[in-house]
Amino acid sequence: MSDLTRMTAAGLAEKIHSREVSAVEVAQAHLDRIAAVDGDVHAFLHVATDAALASAAMVDERIAAGAAPASPLAGVPLALKDVFTTSDMPTTAGSKILDGWRPPYDATVTARLRAAGVTILGKTNMDEFAMGSSTEYSAFGPTHNPWDTTRVPGGSGGGSAAALAAFEAPLAIGTDTGGSIRQPAAFTGTVGAKPTYGGVSRYGLIACASSLDQAGPCARTVLDAAMLHEVIAGYDPMDSTSIDQPVPAVVEAARHGAGGDLSGLRVGVVRELSGEGYQPGVRASYEDALRQLEKLGAELVEVSCPHFEYGLAAYYLILPSEVSSNLARFDAMRYGLRVDGGASAEEVMAATREAGFGPEVKRRVILGTYALSSGYWDAYYGQAQKVRTLISRDFAAAFEQADVLVSPTTPTTAFPIGDKVDDPLAMYLNDLATIPTNLAGTAAMSVPSGLADGLPVGLQVMAPALGEAVMYRVAAAYEAARNSEDGVVIDRVPSLEVSS
């Protein structure tokens, strides 16, 4: 494995911009790594070899001409979740119904990455339409966790997280509807952040649940995630929910946090996310993290968010309801798959959806359609929205007592492939700790917090809306403390054995 693939994004950028190494060499090293290990990992659905090398060459030409790099990450490779439209690559959202579809336009996130000179290596695997917690619901086969290829990498963005953990890319983009960035980060020993809802444009992001979906950065270090965050975030008039406010100074906060001093900060320990139901090793890792935060000078404050216990139930009414509305656009009439199922448009539509949608998508469409149906809207969807309001109020009250909140990211470590795929309720419980933040629209991230039974565990750091700066500061301080005690986190991610 090339030394270039083990470097941080910040380190690669420094070498590229100083002309110590070319962006083309860096891109090629990662493409070679993908060729060597992705047969075992299956992180990518599409590898854009020619486009990636051409993009990297443009960065080299600009630097050679004496011009400033387009951004601090110019020339650094990235893996893009296959839920963002890309005009030069297929965009499938992990579904047969979009197999081979090439969009006529780029998502805003895609466009911002290109404008920043980031080298897009290709599109990563995901649960179909971002519905899942294991990447087993992809129509194109599961992704495998690089720590143990018999286990899942989490979901729905398991491809992006696995690409990072397998050293196929130093950066990735994910989306988080109920934990789809943070849960894979915890399962793969990487970093993943869900920005404030509206902090990153959703234009060109194929919708799962429009009031919950949020794009965000994935990386192997907190600083790398912060640098990517600043590239993709910011107001976009093409997204009606986009926040017209300055992007929080997360890179500065991450650099400051790496100094390791959290004196004066209050860290809220959420009672409802700190009780029973966690794997013993996950629990032990969390308790160690709390002690470490205290050593860094933070004041631990217990806070109660009593309505969090209803979050899972509310989420699995709100999300399917929005899914049933959003996926109605896949009608076999305009783009994507078309199956000849009869003489009428309705028959063609029914046959196409039967062939094109997977079982989890069908399950959620049916649930959502039922929840929105006449006579049931008030009892289900309406009640769930009231719970959502109560959860938002819980967060508001908690943030009056603490600057950030913390919890384990997931109840368990990565589970074996096939272990929960036929048990939807068991699968849904993976998002127990991550869902409340999506319902409230606030910010959260997962940072590696050690190992349990040889597998990664994540610490979740939650912040108020547009409070990403303090979130990155705390995460960076904790990361730095772990590095100094345990060795460099990045070097503990396993290197897959590649047969000769």
Instruction: List, by residue number, the catalytic residues.
Output: 81, 156, 180
- Residue 416 pairs in a beta bridge with 151
**Closest Cα to residue 314, out of 261, 367, 388, 371?**
388
**Closest Cα to residue 27, out of 64, 56, 62, 59?**
56
Other CB atoms closer than 10 Å to residue 462's CB: what's the count? 29
What are the E-state strand segments in 176-333? 191-194, 215-219, 266-270, 299-303
Structure-token pair, residue 32: 């070679």
- Residue 332 CA to residue 349 CA, distance in Å, equals 6
- Residue 456 CA to residue 485 CA, distance in Å, equals 17
- Residue 154 CA to residue 180 CA, distance in Å, equals 8
> CA 413 → CA 191, 416, 423, distances in Å?
15, 10, 17
- Residue 257 CA to residue 477 CA, distance in Å, equals 5
Residue 205 three-state SS: strand
Q: Residue 132: what are its φ and ψ, rounded to 5°?
A: 160, 165
- Residue 200 CA to residue 259 CA, distance in Å, equals 28
Structure-token pair, residue 266: 């209050």
- Considering Cα of 490, then 495, then 496, then 498, what sign does the dihedral take? positive
Q: What is the dihedral of CA 340, 343, 348, 351, to 10 degrees?
A: -70
- Residue 61 pairs in a beta bridge with none
Structure-token pair, residue 126: 């995901």
**Closest Cα to residue 228, out of 351, 116, 326?**
116
Place of tokens 């690409």: 163
> CA 27 → CA 32, 33, 121, 224, distances in Å?
9, 10, 8, 17
Other CB atoms closer than 10 Å to residue 418's CB: what's the count? 12
Other CB atoms closer than 10 Å to residue 342's CB: what's the count? 12
Residue type for position 342: G
